[in-house]
Amino acid sequence: MSELAEIVDNLENRISKLLHKYEVLKQMRDSLQEELTSVKSENNQLKKELQGSVERVQTLKAANAMLGSNDYKKETKLKINSLIREIDQCIVQLSD
């Protein structure tokens, strides 16, 4: 009978340790999920900032070319032509 009691005690100890490990891992998972959410949010914010910076660079390149610089003249001409085509399409749609 004492062997059976030892086996039961041993099982209880193992179950207790497993439950404790489970709780620790659960808390760790929750913490990691919060960190992941925070990092995703920061990543989205940085992407928006990067996109804004890219747009500002393009605008500055166009302004620089319009001021007489030859560095970005081709890009600026292509952008202007693209804008003109868009305006022409709008005019056609308005005239229909």
Domain range for residue 51?
A: 2-95
pTM of the predicted model as reported, rounded to 2 decimal places: 0.54
* pLDDT tens-place string over residues 18-43: 999 999 999 999 999 999 999 999 99
Amino acid identity, position 19: L
Helices assigned H by DSSP within the chain:
2-66, 73-95
Structure tokens at 30: 């929750």
Does the structure show a pLDDT above 90 at 86? yes
With a CB cutoff of 8 Å and minimum separation 6, the contacts of 75 are 61, 62, 65
* pLDDT tens-place string over residues 53-83: 999 998 888 777 777 666 667 777 787 888 8
Q: How many domains does the chain have?
A: 1
Which sign does the torsion angle of CA 92, 94, 95, 96 carry? positive
